Structure 1
Amino acid sequence: MRYTTLLLLPTIALAAPAPLPVPQDKPSGHEVEITAVTYGGTGCPDRTVQGLLSDDRTTITLSFDQYTVQSGPNIPATERRKFCQLQLKLKYPSGFQYSVFGADYRGYASLEKDVTGTAQSTYYFSGQQNQVCVPTRCRLPQPQPAACSSPRNPSSPALTHLTQTVIPTTFKGPMEGNYLKHDEVDAGSTVWSPCGEQGMLNIKSEVRIVPFTAKGLNLLTVDTVDAKFSQKYYVQWQRCDGKTGGGSGGMPIGRPPVDLGRI
Structure 2
Amino acid sequence: MFRLGRMMAAAVAGVSLIVPLMPSTALALARLVDPAVTLEVKAVKGSGCLHDSSVTTDVPDKTAFSVSFSQFKATGPGFKNCNVQIKVGIPAGWTYSVYEAFNRGYAVLDRGASGRIMMNSWFTGFPWTLRADQTFKGPYDDFWQTDSAANSLIFAPCGASANLILNTTLRVAGPETSSMELFAQDVRVSTKFLLKWKEC
TM > 0.5: yes
Query: Which of the pair is proportionally richer in strand?
Result: 2
Deviations 1:105-137 (A, max 9, x none): 332211123322111221111134xxxxxxxxx
Q: Alignment partner of 2:190: what SS? A: strand
Amino acid at match of 1:199: A
- Which among 163, 166, 169 is matched to residue 134 of structure 2? 169
- In the alignment, structure 1 residue 87 sits paired with structure 2 residue 85: yes
1:45 paired residue among 50, 55, 73: 50
Q: Give 1:181's aligned residue.
A: 145
Give structure 1 stretches of 5+ with no counterpart: 1-18, 73-79, 129-161, 241-263
Supply the RMSD in Å over aligned alpha carbons. 3.1
Find 2:191's aligned residue among 206, 231, 236.
231
**Partners of 1:65 and 1:104 in 2: how far apart?**
17
Partner of 2:36: 32
* 1:123 pairs with one of 93, 116, 121: 121
| 1:27 to 1:37, Cα distance in 2 relative to 1, 3 A | farther
**Residue 25 (structure 1) shift:** 7.6
Tell me, in whole angstroms, the C-alpha distance in 2 between the residues paired with 1:59 and 1:164: 17
1:98-177 pair list within 5 angstroms: 98-128=96-126, 162-177=127-142
TM-score (norm 2): 0.71
Kindly state the Cα deviation for residue 237 of structure 1 after the two structures are TM-superposed: 1.9
Structure 2 gap segments, 5+ residues each? 1-22
**How many residues are treated as equivalent by the alignment?**
176
Deviations 1:148-174 (A, max 9, x none): xxxxxxxxxxxxxx4222122221212
TM-score by length of 1: 0.56
Structure 1 residue 81, shift from structure 2 partner: 1.3
- Once residues 173 and 192 of structure 1 are traced to their aligned partners in structure 2, the CA distance between those partners, rounded to angstroms, is 40
Q: Kindly tell me: are residues 190 and 83 of structure 1, through their superposed partners in 2, closer, same or farther at Cα, counting changes over 3 Å?
A: farther
* Dislocated runs of 4+, deviation >3 Å: 19-31, 188-192, 223-229
Match of 2:20 in 1: none
Taking the aligned partners of 1:36 and 1:82, their CA distance within structure 2 comes to 23
**Distance between the aligned counterparts of 2:155 and 2:124, measured in 1?**
12
Matches of 1:89 and 1:37, distance apart in 2: 6
The CA deviation string for residues 208-230 of structure 1, in whole angstroms up to 9 with x for no partner, is 113xxx35621112245556452
Q: Distance in 2 between matches of 1:86 and 1:37?
A: 7
Distance 2:130 2:186 in 1: 31
